[in-house]
Amino acid sequence: MTVPEKLLFVCVNERAPDAKESCGGHHGSGEFLRALKDGVKRRGLKPRVRVTHTGCLGVCHGGPHAYLAPEGRWFHAWGAEDVDSILDALEA
């Protein structure tokens, strides 16, 4: 198994419908997680880059949110139109 150089953690946490915002429940981050994984594969970035889901990253408002390690870069409030720019950042 090759150890990835970069890890993109995408919050897919879902809270109860009457609770405050959540990336998975209120912002639909699951579909973006799939698009990012597909994009990494399509661009040939695997196994150097790994995209994975995570629980709450602690910044629920204005999501969805993702965190790129080891760079320490955050991606906030992104949508389908941002997938390519996030993938560009993973290649850098």
* pLDDT tens digits in sequence order for the chain, 92 residues long: 789 999 999 998 887 777 667 777 666 788 889 999 999 999 999 999 999 999 989 887 777 889 999 999 999 888 778 999 999 998 87
Residue type, position 77, single letter:
A
Dump the DSSP string for 9-22: EEE-----TTSS--
- Whether residue 58 contacts residue 76, with contact meaning beta carbons closer than 8 Å, is answered with no
Pairing assessment for the beta strands 49-54 and 73-76 based on DSSP bridges = unpaired
* Token pair of 39 as six digits: 């994009």
CATH of 6-91, picked from 2.60.120.380, 3.40.350.10, 1.10.10.10, 3.40.30.10, is: 3.40.30.10
Per-residue pLDDT, 25:
67
Per-residue pLDDT, 61:
78
Angle, vertex CA 49, rays to CA 56 and CA 23, nearest 5 = 20
For the chain, the domains span 6-91
Per-residue pLDDT, 80:
77
Residue 63: CB atoms within 10 A of its CB come to 23
